[in-house]
């Protein structure tokens, strides 16, 4: 089954072809990161306009790179939410137009489910039951999956998402946008033990909290003897990673997970991957960095599993900007 995936929930216009939910045939992305960097964050109206500009060329590129014509595609998967309404609408309209014109089955995919299914594109088959930590710009969710497409939430952030905390602290330290990769880069030059930063353990739960940490960084940064940015970046990253690792490890033990997965943009973080590889009680599977951040191959992969399970959406499918996974 060859599925065309379309993703436009935030600031990447993306299209990809995936076979059988596991094999990437192509993965085309037009990124707007540089444009939004001048404003220090994503400007929704500007994002929608860029999506309109790029959506057709990106779909054409995905087909060309897979050396396929639209006649050889078996179905279309599109991100229906969560995300920016105006951005989501562009991908959704393109997907519906293609599905209608070529009489192809259409399925809407939750963007977060897409991040989880990037793990099926790794060449390593995750085994159920599993525990997955989703860490993106907008979400931090600890998820239990007893089988395909079934999710139970074990924990979530009570305030900022992990990626959001990286982005805000990156801006504070004037390291550039997006903050995640910038902090990771700066941290390699820093010593995580120089600056003391707190960890919100919330010991009775598997929930997370990053706003106290963010405030602690701000206070340090505004103090009279300001530490080196590299040392703050290293200490901040270590504090976030410590809590993510410990809660996921506990969840995997409690639930008898046979695999532990990482998903979402922050899953590209080297230090996080290194600690997961060393400390998880079950085999650890994670996507390569280019499949951690937003892309359409992950949407096609998740869509393959949904279509294979017999799911279909009609042309009345709508976007859901605040859609939840569980
Ligand atoms: O999943 P994603 O591409 O978009 C959302 O769905 O939100 O995640 C983007 C987030 C941003 O907050 C970005 O700073 C973070 O992922 N990120 C990283 C790294 N690469 C991207 N955070 C930490 N370390 C990285 N290497
Ligand atoms: Zn994402």
Protein residues whose CB sits closer than 6 Å to any atom of ligand 1: 10, 115, 136-138, 163, 166-167, 178-181, 184, 264-266, 268-269, 293-294
Give pLDDT, residue 40: 86
Nearest ligand for residue 42 CA: 1
Q: Report CA(248)–ligand 2 centroid distance (Å).
A: 20
Q: Report CA(264)–ligand 1 centroid distance (Å).
A: 7
Give pLDDT, residue 65: 98
Instruction: Name which residue sits closest to atom 1 of ligand 1, judged by CA.
Output: 265
Give pLDDT, residue 297: 98
Mutation to probe ligand 1, out of 139, 177, 293, 294 (largest number of atoms < 8 A from CB): 293
Atom of ligand 1 at shortest range from CA of 164: 12
Please report how the helices 270-279 and 229-255 are oriented relative to each other, as an axis angle in degrees rounded to 10.
40
Q: Report CA(194)–ligand 2 centroid distance (Å).
A: 33
Mutation to probe ligand 1, out of 40, 112, 133, 166 (largest number of atoms < 8 A from CB): 166
Can you tell me the distance from the alpha carbon of 190 to that of 274, in angstroms, rounded to the nearest whole number?
Answer: 17
Residue owning tokens 């050396």:
67
Atom of ligand 1 at shortest range from CA of 138: 7
Give pLDDT, residue 110: 98
Which residues, in sequence order, are CB contacts of 214 under 8 Å at separation 6+? 160, 165, 168, 169, 172
First CA to last CA distance, the chain = 27
Give pLDDT, residue 41: 86
Instruction: Name which residue sits closest to atom 2 of ligand 1, judged by CA.
Output: 265
Nearest ligand for residue 170 CA: 1
**CA dihedral sign of residues 62, 261, 230, 220:** positive
Q: Report CA(7)–ligand 2 centroid distance (Å).
A: 10
Give pLDDT, residue 135: 98
CA distances (Å), 30 to each of 34, 227, 303, in order?
11, 38, 21
Give pLDDT, residue 212: 97
Per-residue pLDDT 10s for the chain (326 aa) are 999 999 999 999 999 999 999 999 999 999 998 899 899 888 999 999 999 999 999 999 999 999 999 999 999 999 999 999 999 999 999 999 999 999 999 999 999 999 999 999 999 999 999 999 999 999 999 999 999 999 999 999 999 999 999 999 999 999 998 999 999 999 999 999 999 999 999 999 999 999 999 999 999 999 999 999 999 999 999 999 999 999 999 999 999 999 999 999 999 999 999 999 999 999 999 999 999 999 999 999 999 999 999 999 999 999 999 999 99
Total residue count of the chain as it appears in this document: 326
Can you tell me the distance from the alpha carbon of 291 to that of 287, in angstroms, rounded to the nearest whole number?
Answer: 6
Can you tell me the distance from the alpha carbon of 279 to that of 228, in angstroms, rounded to the nearest whole number?
Answer: 29
């Amino acid at each position: 089954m060859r599925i065309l995936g379309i993703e436009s929930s935030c600031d990447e216009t993306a299209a990809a072809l995936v076979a059988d939910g596991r094999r990437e045939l192509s993965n085309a992305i037009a990124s707007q990161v540089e444009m939004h960097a001048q404003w220090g964050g994503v400007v929704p109206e500007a994002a929608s306009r860029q999506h309109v500009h790029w959506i057709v060329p990106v779909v054409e590129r995905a087909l060309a790179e897979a050396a396929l014509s639209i006649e050889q595609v078996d179905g279309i998967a599109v991100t229906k939410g969560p995300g920016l309404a105006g951005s989501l609408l562009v991908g959704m309209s393109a997907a519906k137009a293609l599905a209608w014109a070529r009489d192809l089955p259409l399925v809407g995919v939750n963007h977060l489910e897409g991040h989880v299914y990037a793990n099926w594109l790794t060449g390593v088959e995750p085994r159920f039951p599993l525990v997955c930590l989703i860490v993106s710009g907008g979400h931090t969710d600890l998820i239990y999956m007893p089988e395909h497409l079934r999710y139970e939430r074990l924990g979530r952030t009570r305030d900022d998402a992990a990626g959001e905390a990286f982005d805000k602290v990156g801006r504070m330290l004037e390291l550039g946008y997006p903050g995640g990769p910038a902090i990771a880069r700066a941290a390699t030059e820093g010593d995580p033990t120089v600056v003391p930063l707190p960890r919100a353990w919330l010991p009775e739960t598997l929930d997370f909290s990053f706003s106290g940490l963010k405030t602690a960084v701000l206070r340090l940064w505004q103090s009279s003897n300001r530490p080196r940015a590299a040392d703050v970046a290293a200490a901040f990253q270590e504090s976030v990673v410590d809590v993510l690792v410990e809660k996921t490890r506990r969840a995997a033990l409690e639930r008898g997970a046979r695999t532990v997965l990482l998903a979402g943009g922050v899953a590209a973080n080297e230090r996080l991957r290194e600690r997961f590889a060393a400390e998880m009680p079950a085999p650890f599977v994670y996507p390569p960095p280019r499949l951690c951040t937003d892309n359409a191959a992950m949407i096609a992969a998740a869509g393959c599993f949904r279509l294979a399970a017999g799911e279909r959406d009609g042309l009345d499918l709508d976007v859901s900007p605040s859609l939840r996974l569980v």
